[in-house]
């Protein structure tokens, strides 16, 4: 069947294809371009005097698209749509938070202030710009290619940016230990900061290599893993680390944040348009920023104003100071120094216990996000998506950044916003400009974070909802089971932060004095063990549950064996704790400090093996039996 421009028309701004039907209907059938290629077979219907008549089934290969059609369709999938602005604000806020974290942590824990500040502005931020620009442009191009391939105009690019868990882990467990050790050996602050930066580069390129080569085996993992297992992990992260964390920030400063929250809810829950079709995200940020500056003005004019009117931190002096820091910083290739470090394993082999788990963590997390995108309707190639992620992270290290990039959680949320490919391109360009000019501090001084976090909160809500809505209702309990480790990880993060701030007894002190200690009836050791390697544990427990629901006992047993292996080698559950700092503890690896308290999860591995044995035994019992009844309990 030929498809040419004379059969092409627009309805409501969307491309449609007019096909002439057979004698069953005198009318012609109008088929939207979105229908082409989404499924292997598609049933076309036409309207005929208020009746819908099935006119046949075709494969996508039955259509031959002319050059005119392809040109028309290419013009339909626009580089930028209005809702891309909403998507940009959400993704930009997320990326901006990472950049602010880099500034705060590298200055406070790695000595990159004063003489060492050049490492931030001349190397780390420009290196991050290179990786973010490459990734965002690639994923925008990838979205356009998918749209042209499937004849659709509603394809949303994969969100992309700096990986938050890697950022935190590499600072706390790689860079800060190197910096502190160098200071203890009598080196200057600048020299110690440079050593910390160099080791961060090694960690970053290690993560990139794992992600790149993992791309070639990820399809096999994805094929053998239930969707409930892949999505439940994302839901757990979304409900805790995204939605709950930002919800707390909203109610920390309600006068600034709650009006933007209302705007976001009107825009995305009620789906109501604003006057002149203004993007809801833009309206929310503008109103929140205006309120913050108004409160600052009130505090300046009325020093005795109520405390809740003086909670805004916006001030003109901070803007002036930030403007003085503006300067253009070109990225510098530092690959030579990275390769020199890699030639001396004695300097970095001790950090493999951090680098390897985080590389695998990033790989599995990106894989889950690709599955989430497919569940939302956009089926991207696993290998190309993951390989591009790995290449971008490697480029980050080669140009001076210590922090891996990743495919972000939240594609369904950005798709629901109406964002397409433009939001990714715009984010890459803006974040690059900010990093290359040192403008992070200027933006922080002008726009309060609370004005934009409601958008990210909504993204987390959509991710959580998707995990339950796109799986079969029978698998919903499996999704719920998979939430537990991620919720434990969020709870431990809050608990750990409280111990850090308290300045009194440490987590280690509490566990040593009472291994069964609990915090408000939450068993502390169990919480730490469950949250270690939680991205793997979420997937394992949810997969076991999904296969049991489907009565695939041998598959559930196989996943239990995987859980046993992960626990035995220390990828999950095992840990070492020194003060309030918790780290991975691989099997047969020595603790990083003689003062650390250790837990090797051999007993958890045995527990998984007992689970596997019970599933295999029951699978053997049921083999050959037909129509085994389900007994409600």
DSSP one-letter string for 382-416:
HHHHHHHHHHHHHHHHHTT--S-EEEPS-HHHHHH
Both 369 and 430 in one domain: the answer is yes
Mean pLDDT computed over every residue of the chain: 80
Both 108 and 45 in one domain: the answer is no
Q: What is the pLDDT of residue 448?
A: 83
Q: What is the mean pLDDT of residues 407-434?
A: 89
Angle at 96 between CA 93 and CA 99, to 5 degrees: 160
Per-residue CA distances from 538 to 241, 258, 337, 481, 529 (Å): 15, 33, 38, 8, 13
pLDDT band at 607 (very low <50, low <70, confident <90, very high): very high
Output 351 or 610, whichever has higher pLDDT.
Answer: 610
Is the pLDDT at 284 greater than 70? The verdict is: yes
Both 463 and 493 in one domain: the answer is no
Both 94 and 37 in one domain: the answer is no
The values of phi and psi at residue 383, to 5°, are: -65, -50
For 400: left if phi > 0, alpha if psi spans -120 to 50, otherwise beta; the answer is left
185 within some domain: no
Cα torsion angle, 323, 327, 328, 329, sign: negative
Q: In sequence order, which residues have a C-beta less than 8 Å from that of residue 273 and are 6 or more positions away? A: none
Is the pLDDT at 30 greater than 80? The verdict is: no
Q: What is the mean pLDDT of residues 74-101?
A: 78
Q: What is the mean pLDDT of residues 398-417?
A: 88
* DSSP code of residue 116: G
| Alpha-carbon span 154 to 156, nearest angstrom | 6
Cβ–Cβ under 8 Å, residues 391 and 139 = no
User: Which tokens is 544 given?
Assistant: 């076991």
77 within some domain: no
Q: What is the pLDDT of residue 177?
A: 80
Output 371 or 563, whichever has higher pLDDT.
Answer: 563
Least confident of 24-38, 87-101, 327-341, 366-380: 24-38
| Alpha-carbon span 337 to 522, nearest angstrom | 47
Both 93 and 57 in one domain: the answer is no
Both 203 and 275 in one domain: the answer is yes
Both 467 and 563 in one domain: the answer is no
User: Which tokens is 317 given?
Assistant: 């002096």
481 within some domain: no
187 within some domain: no
Cβ–Cβ under 8 Å, residues 533 and 572 = yes
Rounded-to-10 torsion of CA 323, 137, 234, 148: 150
Is the pLDDT at 392 greater than 80? The verdict is: yes
Output 467 or 129, whichever has higher pLDDT.
Answer: 129
Both 14 and 146 in one domain: the answer is no
483 within some domain: no
Angle between helices 189-214 and 84-110 (to 10 degrees): 140
Both 345 and 290 in one domain: the answer is yes
Per-residue CA distances from 112 to 103, 105, 381, 399 (Å): 9, 9, 40, 17
| Alpha-carbon span 189 to 526, nearest angstrom | 39
> 480-505 burial, b if ≥16 CB within 10 A, otherwise e?
bbbbbbbbbbbbbeebbeebeeeeee
Q: What is the pLDDT of residue 429?
A: 95
Both 59 and 114 in one domain: the answer is no
- Of 406, 367, 369, the residue nearest 383 (C-alpha): 367
| Alpha-carbon span 62 to 58, nearest angstrom | 6
| Alpha-carbon span 166 to 623, nearest angstrom | 45
Is residue 336 classed as helix, strand or coil in its secondary structure?
helix
| Alpha-carbon span 359 to 353, nearest angstrom | 11
For 381: left if phi > 0, alpha if psi spans -120 to 50, otherwise beta; the answer is beta
| Alpha-carbon span 62 to 578, nearest angstrom | 65
| Alpha-carbon span 146 to 231, nearest angstrom | 22
| Alpha-carbon span 108 to 446, nearest angstrom | 23
Cα torsion angle, 511, 516, 521, 526, sign: positive
Both 97 and 233 in one domain: the answer is yes
Last residue of a domain, one of 51, 72, 93: 72
Q: What is the pLDDT of residue 403?
A: 94
Instruction: Enter the pTM of the model.
Output: 0.65
| Alpha-carbon span 616 to 612, nearest angstrom | 6
Tell me the β-bridge partners of 578: 581
Is residue 181 classed as helix, strand or coil in its secondary structure?
helix
How many domains is the chain built from?
A: 3
96 within some domain: yes
Q: What is the pLDDT of residue 521?
A: 66
Least confident of 57-71, 133-147, 454-468, 590-604: 57-71
pLDDT band at 591 (very low <50, low <70, confident <90, very high): confident
**Residue 252 CB neighbour total at 10 angstroms:** 11
pLDDT band at 205 (very low <50, low <70, confident <90, very high): very high
563 within some domain: yes
User: For the chain, what percent of residues have pLDDT higher than 90?
Assistant: 30
Q: Give me the domain span that covers residue 27.
A: 2-72
| Alpha-carbon span 200 to 187, nearest angstrom | 18
Q: What is the pLDDT of residue 299?
A: 78
Is residue 542 classed as helix, strand or coil in its secondary structure?
helix
Q: What is the pLDDT of residue 32?
A: 41
Q: In sequence order, which residues have a C-beta less than 8 Å from that of residue 537 and are 6 or more positions away? A: 485, 530, 563, 566, 572, 573
Least confident of 277-281, 325-329, 430-434, 548-552: 277-281
Is the pLDDT at 258 greater than 60? The verdict is: yes
Q: What is the pLDDT of residue 601?
A: 93
Is residue 226 classed as helix, strand or coil in its secondary structure?
coil
Angle at 447 between CA 444 and CA 448, to 5 degrees: 85
Is the pLDDT at 16 greater than 50? The verdict is: no
174 within some domain: no
pLDDT band at 52 (very low <50, low <70, confident <90, very high): very low
Both 62 and 98 in one domain: the answer is no
Is the pLDDT at 535 greater than 90? The verdict is: no
Q: What is the mean pLDDT of residues 526-530?
A: 91
Least confident of 143-157, 406-420, 426-440: 406-420
């Amino acid at each position: 069947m030929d498809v040419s421009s004379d059969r092409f028309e627009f309805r409501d701004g969307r491309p449609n294809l007019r096909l002439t039907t057979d004698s069953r209907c005198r009318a012609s059938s109008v088929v939207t371009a979105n229908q082409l290629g989404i499924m292997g077979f598609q049933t076309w219907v036409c309207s005929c005097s208020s009746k819908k008549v099935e006119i046949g089934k075709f494969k996508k290969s039955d259509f031959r698209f002319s050059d005119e059609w392809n040109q028309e369709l290419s013009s339909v999938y626009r580089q930028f749509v209005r809702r891309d602005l909403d998507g940009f604000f959400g993704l930009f806020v997320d990326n901006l938070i990472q950049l602010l974290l880099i500034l705060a942590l590298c200055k406070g824990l790695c000595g990159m202030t004063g003489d060492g500040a050049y490492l931030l502005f001349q190397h780390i931020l420009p290196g991050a710009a290179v990786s973010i620009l490459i990734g965002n442009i690639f994923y925008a191009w990838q979205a356009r290619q998918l749209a042209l391939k499937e004849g659709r105009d509603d394809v949303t690019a994969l969100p992309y940016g700096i990986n938050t868990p890697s950022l935190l882990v590499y600072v706390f467990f790689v860079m800060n230990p190197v910096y502190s050790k160098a200071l203890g050996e009598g080196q200057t602050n600048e020299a110690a900061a440079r050593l910390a930066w160099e080791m961060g580069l090694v960690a970053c390129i290690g993560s990139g290599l794992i992600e790149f080569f993992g791309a070639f085996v990820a399809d096999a993992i994805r094929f053998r893993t239930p969707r409930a297992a892949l999505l439940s992990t994302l839901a757990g992260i979304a409900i805790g680390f995204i939605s709950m964390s930002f919800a707390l920030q909203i109610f920390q400063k309600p006068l600034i944040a709650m009006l933007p929250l209302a705007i976001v809810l009107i825009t995305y829950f009620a789906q109501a348009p604003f006057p002149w079709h203004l993007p809801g995200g833009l309206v929310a940020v503008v109103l929140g920023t205006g309120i913050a500056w108004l409160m600052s003005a009130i505090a300046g004019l009325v020093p005795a104003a109520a405390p809740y009117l003086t909670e805004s931190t916006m001030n003109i002096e901070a803007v002036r100071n930030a403007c003085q820091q503006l300067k253009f910083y070109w990225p510098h290739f530092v690959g030579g120094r990275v390769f020199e470090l890699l030639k001396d394993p004695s300097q970095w082999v001790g950090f493999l216990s951090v680098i390897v788990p985080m590389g695998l963590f990033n790989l599995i997390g990106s894989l889950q996000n690709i599955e989430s995108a497919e569940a939302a309707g956009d089926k991207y190639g696993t290998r190309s998506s993951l390989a591009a992620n790995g290449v971008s992270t490697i480029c980050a290290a080669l140009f001076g950044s210590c922090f891996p990039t990743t495919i972000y959680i939240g594609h369904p949320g950005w798709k629901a916003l109406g964002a397409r490919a433009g939001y990714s391109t715009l984010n890459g360009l803006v974040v690059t400009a900010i990093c290359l000019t040192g403008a992070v501090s200027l933006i922080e001084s002008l726009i309060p974070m609370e004005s934009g976090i409601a958008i990210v909160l909504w993204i987390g809500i959509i991710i959580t909802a998707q995990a339950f809505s796109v799986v079969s209702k029978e698998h919903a309990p499996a999704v719920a089971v998979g939430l537990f480790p991620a919720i434990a990880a969020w709870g431990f993060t809050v608990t750990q932060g409280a111990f850090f701030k308290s300045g009194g007894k440490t987590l280690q002190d509490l566990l040593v004095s009472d291994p069964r200690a609990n915090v408000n009836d939450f068993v502390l050791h169990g919480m730490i063990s469950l949250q270690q390697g939680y991205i793997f544990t979420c997937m394992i427990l949810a997969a076991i549950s999904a296969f049991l629901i489907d009565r695939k006992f041998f598959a559930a047993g196989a996943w239990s064996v995987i859980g046993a292996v992960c626990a035995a080698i220390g990828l999950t559950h095992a840990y070492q704790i020194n003060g309030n700092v918790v780290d991975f503890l691989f099997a047969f690896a020595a603790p990083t400090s003689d003062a650390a308290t250790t837990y090797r999860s051999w007993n958890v591995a045995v527990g998984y093996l007992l689970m596997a044995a019970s599933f295999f035994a029951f699978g053997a019992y049921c083999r050959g039996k037909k129509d085994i009844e389900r007994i409600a309990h």
